[in-house]
Amino acid sequence: MGNSLQDQLLQAGMIAKQKAKKIKKAKHKQDRQQRKTKTPVSDQVKQQAQQAQQQKVARDRELNRQKQQAAEQRAIVAQIRQLIEQNQVSVEEGAEIAYNFTDGSKIRRIHVSEGQHALLSNGRLAVVRQGEGYAMVPAVVAEKIRQRDASVILVLNESQPQDDEDDPYAEFKVPDDLMW
């Protein structure tokens, strides 16, 4: 039973030994060729694996970018909170003047002293949102806050030029309705 058809043909003398080797070699080649044709299937699997890896890397990059952006936003909020807390101008006792301003579509009010009202009007103080409430900070600090997030600043009037005491024309004010 161990004898193959080729061995039987060799014993019977029907084929030559050289011819049997040639046939055996051709069969071996054919087997190898069949194994190689199976590799395209494995190539497809490799390509799919590479695509999946690339998609995973892209997803990971996007998630990292989002996490980094969220961390930067939290850092900006913390910087703004720190600037407000460190530079907040407290309302003086006996502040009776109501200063009205808008927060979105609502009109809000804080009570300030006469000097603070003048500073707010001249653009030397600003009103900013602090958590659920409001705070006053110097205009310089408000500019730093504006660089980080302009939506926090509610009132920052344009700075008026300070009157010079040595100005010889200080007593002659130019009327607003003057036409040239």
Q: What pLDDT, in 10s, does the model give residues 99-144?
A: 888 888 888 888 888 888 888 888 889 999 888 888 899 989 999 8
- pLDDT of 151 reads 86
* 47 lies in some domain: yes
Other C-beta atoms within 10 Å of 10: how many? 16
User: What pTM did the predictor assign?
Assistant: 0.56
Q: What percent of the chain has pLDDT over 90?
A: 18
Helix ranges restricted to H, the chain: 5-12, 17-37, 39-87, 114-122, 139-148
* 158 lies in some domain: yes
* 22 lies in some domain: no
Q: Which among 124, 120, 70 is positioned nearest to 98, based on CA atoms?
A: 120
* 110 lies in some domain: yes
- Residue 167, classed as helix, strand or coil, is coil
* 114 lies in some domain: yes
- Residue 102, classed as helix, strand or coil, is strand
Other C-beta atoms within 10 Å of 135: how many? 19
Q: What is the mean pLDDT of the chain?
A: 82
* 180 lies in some domain: no
pLDDT higher than 60, residue 83: yes
142, 122 Cβ separation under 8 angstroms: no
Domain range enclosing 79: 43-162
* 81 lies in some domain: yes
Please tell me the total count of domains within the chain: 1
- Residue 136, classed as helix, strand or coil, is strand
Residue 7 tokens read as 């061995």
* 8 lies in some domain: no
Helices and strands in the chain: count of H runs, count of E runs: 5, 5
The DSSP result for 104-132, as a single string, is TTEEEEEEE-HHHHHHHHHTSEEEEEETT
Which helix (H) or strand (E) segment is 16 a member of? none
pLDDT higher than 70, residue 15: yes
- Residue 175, classed as helix, strand or coil, is coil
Given CA atoms 172, 174, 178, 180 in this order, what sign does their dihedral have?
Answer: positive
